[in-house]
Amino acid sequence: MAQEPVTVWTRAERGARGRLPAHSRADLTAVAVELADRGGLSAVSMRQVAKELGTGQASLYRYVSGRDDLLDLMTDAVAGEIDLDVPLHGDPVADLVALAARAKAVHLRHPWLPDIPPEPLRLGPRGVDYLEYALRAMASVRLPGPAKMEIVALMSALVAQFARAEIQGSRATTDRQAAQAAYLSQTASQGDHPHVAAAMAEHPGTAPAEDPQRLFERTMRRVLTGLVVDDITAAGVEDVETPAAHDAQGTRDAPEAHEADPRDPTVGKRPEQ
């Protein structure tokens, strides 16, 4: 009995027979995003949305199969805020970094984004557009499709990570946060964790705080540069030997060789979240 579609994206917004709806999915979405922006994701409850919309909560289920659908809609809506009309420069890394920067801006505007339960594959129309753009940026890269997908996923994960750090840095510290930090420093001062103690002591009182934007772009560029290089050209040798344990800086880049076996397992991506 041809059960109806599972995702919002394939389910028709409304039937053609009955009385015309008083609202639309876009309305729900707008209200939900607004609520989330104001009071966090937990403020987005069916009752609240209904109240804000001036309707009964049961009515919402005429537009949406459940709260999950609402989250899908919200996610895709904010994904649509990323400007995809920026022309590509031609350098995959640079283009992706720029894209990531714009994505991060959206994260900063909607801090609840990382709080959305990480369903595998939450991809609406705008999300697909985003994915298309990212893949287009990598058009010149010689990598199997799934590998590119995975790069996009990793990129998104990093964007979320950076956004979180930035938000946390700007927002006032909560009690819990302070308590956690206190516990950490106390533990460090116990003597059993010299490296942690050193790393924390190294932090001068006032934070010189390099421009977050620069830091972000630099890190992003490095990571992406490491990922985007295709395997054929990056052929090298496995590192075998062991350098001295405390050489000045023991980090040498040892590009590892690996058969350029294309295709990889399933790709868990969630480009925009």
117 binds DNA (CB under 7 A): no
Report the residue number, 22 or 234, with the smaller CB distance to its own copies. 234
Residue type, 23: H
- Where helices occur in the chain by DSSP H, the ranges are 25-39, 46-53, 67-79, 92-109, 125-137, 145-170, 175-188, 194-201, 212-228
Residue whose tokens read 């876009």? 26
Tally of CB atoms within 10 A around 85: 5
Q: Give min distance, CB of 218 to its own copies, in A.
A: 5
Judged by CB under 8 A, the residue of 39, 109, 183, 189 near its own copies is 183
Q: Fill in the per-residue mask, 105 to 124: x = in contact with its own copies (CB under 8 A), - = not in contact.
A: ---------xx-xxxxxxx-
Q: Enumerate residues 194-223 that contact its own copies by CB under 8 A.
A: 194-196, 198-204, 207-210, 212, 214-215, 218-219, 221-223
Q: Fill in the per-residue mask, 45 to 84: x = in contact with DNA (CB under 7 A), - = not in contact.
A: xxxx------xxxxx-xxx--xxx----------------
Tally of CB atoms within 10 A around 56: 11
Rounded CA gap, 193 and 270, in Å? 36
Residue 113 CA, distance from chain mean position: 8
User: Which of DNA, its own copies, none lies near 244, with the C-beta cut-off 5 to 8 A by kind?
Assistant: its own copies
Rounded CA gap, 147 and 40, in Å? 34
How many helices (H) and strands (E) in the chain?
9, 0
Q: Fill in the per-residue mask, 22 to 61: x = in contact with its own copies (CB under 8 A), - = not in contact.
A: ----------------------------------------
Q: Give min distance, CB of 9 to DNA, in A.
A: 17
Binding site for DNA (CB under 7 A): 14-23, 44-48, 55-59, 61-63, 66-68
